[in-house]
Amino acid sequence: MSLRVEMAGILAERRPHQEAPPGFRRAAVLLPLYETATGLHLVLTKRTDRVPTHKGQISFPGGGFHEADGDLQTTALRESEEEIGLRPGDVAIVGVLDDTVTDASAHVVRPFVGFIPYPYAFRPDPFEIEELIHLPLVPVITGGRFREEVWERDGHPHSVFFYEHDGQTIWGLTARILKQFVEVVGGPLRQSGLLDTAR
C-alpha cells in the first residue's frame, strides 16, 4: 500500500470537528500534496509584500467563503486556482481536517487535503504570491519539531506555533493546521511501517 492510499484511508475514517462561533467569517484552505520518487510533498505559498494582509507570510492556498461558492470545498479550490493556477479538476480531495478558529482575524478556517499531479505547471499570481514552497512531508512527520511560544492577546495567553524549513518560518494559523495534519496522519502512518522505507 502506498503512503497516498494509506493517508486517504486515515482521513476518510475520521469525522472532522466543525466550529461556528457567532460573528466569525468562514474560510477554507487547501493542503495540496503530490508524490515523487523522493516522497510526498506539500505545497505552500509565500505571500508578497503587496497584499493587504499577512505580507510575506507562508500560508496554504485559500481564502474567504463567497455565497456563490455554495460550499467551503469549492472555496478552497477556487482560491487555489486564483492564487497558484491549480485547476479544480486536477485536485483529488481525500479528506478534511478540523475547523481552525483564528481570533486575530475572526475567521473559522476549514482545511481540505487533496492530491495533485506531478509535475505540475503552477501559475502563481504575481501580485499575491512571491514563491511556492515545496515541503517534504515525511521529515515533518518523523522528526518535525514545532516550536511553541505563548503570546498574550486581549489579556489572555495564546499558543503560537512555528516550524522552520530551509530558512523559512511557517507560523501562526498555517503552522497550527500543519501540526494538526501531522498529528492526524502521523501516528497511523508510523504504525503502518510505510514511513520506514519512505524518504
Express each pLDDT in 86-101 by its tens digit.
Answer: 999 999 999 999 999 9
Q: Report pLDDT for 197.
A: 62
Query: Cβ(33)–Cβ(137) under 8 Å?
Result: yes
Fold designation for 3-142: Nucleoside Triphosphate Pyrophosphohydrolase (3.90.79)
C-alpha cell at 149: 511560544
What residue type is 193 in one-letter code? G
Distance CA 70, CA 47 (A): 26
Distance CA 67, CA 134 (A): 31
User: Who's near 178: CB < 8 A, 6+ residues apart?
Assistant: 42, 140, 163, 170
Q: Report pLDDT for 51.
A: 83
CA distances 3 to 54, 97, 105, 165, 198, Å, are: 33, 18, 35, 22, 9
C-beta neighbour count of 57 within 10 angstroms: 16
User: Who's near 13: CB < 8 A, 6+ residues apart?
Assistant: none
Q: Report pLDDT for 43.
A: 98
Q: Report pLDDT for 1.
A: 67
Q: Report pLDDT for 81.
A: 98
Query: Cβ(186)–Cβ(199) under 8 Å?
Result: no
Question: Which residues in the chain show pLDDT less than 50?
Answer: 199
Q: Report pLDDT for 159.
A: 93
Domain map (residue ranges) of the chain: 3-142
Which pLDDT tens digit goes with each residue over 111-131? 999 999 999 999 999 999 999
